[in-house]
Structure 1
Amino acid sequence: MRINHNIAALNTYRQLSSANGAQGKSMEKLSSGLRINRAGDDAAGLAISEKMRGQIRGLDQASKNSQDAVSLIQTAEGALNETHSILQRMRELSVQASNDTNQDTVDRDALDQEFQQLKQEIDDISTQTKFNKMNLLDGSFGNKVDTNASNTTALAVAGVASIEATGPAGTYTIADDGTDLTISNGTKTITLAGQSMAAGAQTLNVSEWGISLQTNTGFGAAGLDGKQIVISAGTGGTFQTGANSGETMTLAIGNMSSTGLSINGNDLQNRTNADAAITAIDNAINLVSAERSNLGAKQNRLEHRINNLATSSENLTASESRIRDVDYALAA
């Protein structure tokens, strides 16, 4: 017989305290909906689920980033759609002006007046198309010619009036044998048969790389043989399209002004000029088409990226839920 200690009561108290503690934890889990409310509940599970939570929030934000990028592309592409329409009208005017039923001083002047206004509208579109105050079509959102003459030897050649280039950054070497012209970026070579630049005022267009070069009447016989064009990376745009560092997508948009499209010097004052305008506008249409194709491809890629991000976020959320959320049947 023991007098100072009531073992039965102590055991009952211990069991009651344990039951109350377990009940308190169960109520906490049931009220919060979480199996892990503090590190002590499951230290390893907490660490894993927190990493998952960070990844989930990153995926959700990357999806929002990608949607913003799609909006930017749609803004640029919508403006280029109008540029295409303008170029088609300019080509129509050029074909009309090429017909000698028109008088230079009367009919062609009237046609040229509309032609010049349309050209100005292309320039306005290129400078006024913006997304979040960023210019998209004036060349500042893409790659461009490095104007350092020591790097771009073509700029120093007498008779070269202008160079526009919006292709991938790199060095492009020109070879001109007087009959054919080739241009190479070290990986790929494009040959333009019968496109020698030694014949005077001409325009070279390599739409695949967004390169346009104009020469004037003083162009020498040596031409561009062996010369180089260096395209440097512009500001462009880098979109964070993933939850982790380095998971990005880049976008560069060329100069879509009349200068960038190499039609700034064209007019319809006479038949010869009108005929030259047809060729120049055809090249401009190809450049705009190439740019729109690039934008469309990027948009399609982003839309698939958005779908994949949503799927990844959903699956990762389910995984995090299995670790952290409470099972009400067990907790009750």
Structure 2
Amino acid sequence: MGLSINTNLAAMNSYRNLSATQGDLSSSLEKLSSGLRINRAADDAAGLAISEGLRAQIGGTKQAVRNAQDGISVVQTAEGALTETHSILQRMRTLAVQASNDGGLSTDAKSNIQDEMDQLKTELTRIADTTQFNGAKLLDGNYNGTFQVGANNSSSDQIAVNLVRPNGMSAQGLNVDGVDVTAAASNATTADLTTAAAAGEAAVLTVGTGDFTDANTTDLSAKYAGLNGTISIGSKSLDLASVDFSAATDEDSSVAAIQAKADEVFGAGAVTVAASTTGLTFTGATPGATASATEAAATEPKFTQASGANEAIDLINTAITTVSSVRSELGAVQNRFDHTINNLNVAVENLSASESRIRDTDMAEEMVSFTRAQILSQAGTAMLAQAKSLPQSVLQLLQ
């Protein structure tokens, strides 16, 4: 290579290598100071895309943990309120047992017991109406909450807490609102549908028991409006809940309303409806008819209000069983939430480890690269200084 002063190739070569070294040094400093191997897409395009997907999963899973914790809070709030509901029902049962001791109680004593019963029933309903979580009522019979416990949009990423019940955990919903320990026990019966028919015989269906002509019953149409069940003769069925009692004013007009519906379904004269002190009967006049009856799920006594100390014990026992069942379901859901949270936390840990391996800086490895670049930078600077002075040798030729 000739000796020239216009083009200093040695200096240009030293500068090029020094620039590359400075770039490596700057990149190492950025990775070491940020702790990230990928600070921009240019660092690792594929790695950036993968790590951002993992970050989305991690963020969603962390939020799912908090959602599941909210679910536990809801369950604990509802179950805590039902703890007191249980206590109230246990007290009511104790009072019912006390009131059933007719030989040792006066009428006034039973009346005093009923006063406490009424207050306890009111409190049951108040608890059901006021138990809330973040503004949502939990025990009024309408709560059906879904909790997002996964990072994705699928049914397997959700847990439902279903507290839907007719009238919730109120006194009415627990079927103890009509408990009256001062009434005679014979007046406290619930409707029951029984079948008494065979092929070739007239169909006689007895619906319910108890005294339908009780002088103390003032709203006879209301008790019939509580009918709940299905009467079937042949291939035709009468849903008792579909009877229109809007025009009924007494027992006769109530029975007439049922008769009108039976005529509409089975044909005029096919079925005769009658009421007596033993119940409500359906007599089939069609020769050879086979009658059957089924009782729908009852949520409250029909025909007469729940009354009488002995009947109160049975009704309260059922209410206690109902609350126990609901609390058991809530406990099971809470345990499921606990396991879900544990699983989600493990998922967050594993996803974070995967994201770290792609995105984070290996500090030891990067320090090696930084030290190498730092030494090369110092050497390059020294060599550039040397290369810059090479053209000065031309001055020796000019002397």
Who is 1:311 aligned against? 346
Q: TM (normalized to structure 2)?
A: 0.59
1:124-169 deviation line (CA, Å, top 9, x unaligned):
000010000110001111xxxxxxxxxxxxxxxxxxxxxxxxxxxx
Contact 2:146 2:159 in 1 (8 A): yes
Give the counterpart letter for 1:280 in structure 2: L
Give the counterpart letter for 2:171 in structure 1: S
Who is 1:281 aligned against? 316
Q: Distance in 1 between matches of 2:73 and 2:161?
A: 13
Moved more, 99-108 or 22-31: 99-108
Residue 104 of structure 1 deviates from its aligned partner by 5.0
Give the counterpart letter for 1:238 in structure 2: T
Who is 2:333 aligned against? 298
Contact 1:102 1:108 in 2 (8 A): no
Q: Distance in 1 between matches of 2:34 and 2:366?
A: 12
Contact 2:99 2:105 in 1 (8 A): no
Residue 102 of structure 1 deviates from its aligned partner by 4.0
1:198-227 deviation line (CA, Å, top 9, x unaligned):
xxxxxxxxxxxxxxxxxxxxxxxxxxxxxx
Who is 2:35 aligned against? 33
Who is 1:138 aligned against? 140
14, 17, 23: which one pairs with 1:15? Answer: 17
Q: Does 1:329 align with 2:239?
A: no
228, 231, 237: which one pairs with 2:145? Answer: 237
232, 245, 250: which one pairs with 2:160? Answer: 250
1:207-250 deviation line (CA, Å, top 9, x unaligned):
xxxxxxxxxxxxxxxxxxxxxxxxxxxxx101001111121111
Residue 259 of structure 1 deviates from its aligned partner by 0.9
Contact 1:128 1:135 in 2 (8 A): yes
Who is 1:119 aligned against? 121
1:250-291 deviation line (CA, Å, top 9, x unaligned):
111131111111111111104611111100001000110010
Contact 1:98 1:271 in 2 (8 A): no
Who is 2:241 aligned against? none
Q: Equivalent residue of 2:147, what SS? A: strand
Contact 1:97 1:270 in 2 (8 A): no
1:278-332 deviation line (CA, Å, top 9, x unaligned):
0000100011001001100000000110111111001110110010000111111
What is the total number of aligned residue pairs between the two structures?
238
Contact 1:100 1:271 in 2 (8 A): no
Q: Distance in 1 between matches of 2:106 and 2:21?
A: 103
Who is 2:178 aligned against? 265
100, 103, 108: which one pairs with 1:101? Answer: 103
Q: TM (normalized to structure 1)?
A: 0.70
Q: Which runs of 5+ in 2 are unaligned?
A: 186-307, 368-399
Contact 2:140 2:170 in 1 (8 A): yes
Q: Distance in 1 between matches of 2:86 and 2:68?
A: 26
The structure richer in helix per residue is: 2
Residue 68 of structure 1 deviates from its aligned partner by 0.8
Q: Distance in 1 between matches of 2:321 and 2:331?
A: 15
Q: Equivalent residue of 1:101, what SS? A: helix
Query: Which runs of at least 4 in structure 1 moved beyond 4 Å after TM superposition?
Result: none
Residue 29 of structure 1 deviates from its aligned partner by 0.3
Q: Distance in 2 between matches of 1:264 and 1:102?
A: 26
Who is 1:64 aligned against? 66
Residue 46 of structure 1 deviates from its aligned partner by 0.3
Q: Distance in 2 between matches of 1:102 and 1:323?
A: 82
Contact 2:79 2:330 in 1 (8 A): yes
Greater Cα radius of gyration, structure 1 or 2: 2
Give the counterpart letter for 2:161 in structure 1: L
Q: Distance in 2 between matches of 1:118 and 1:258?
A: 9
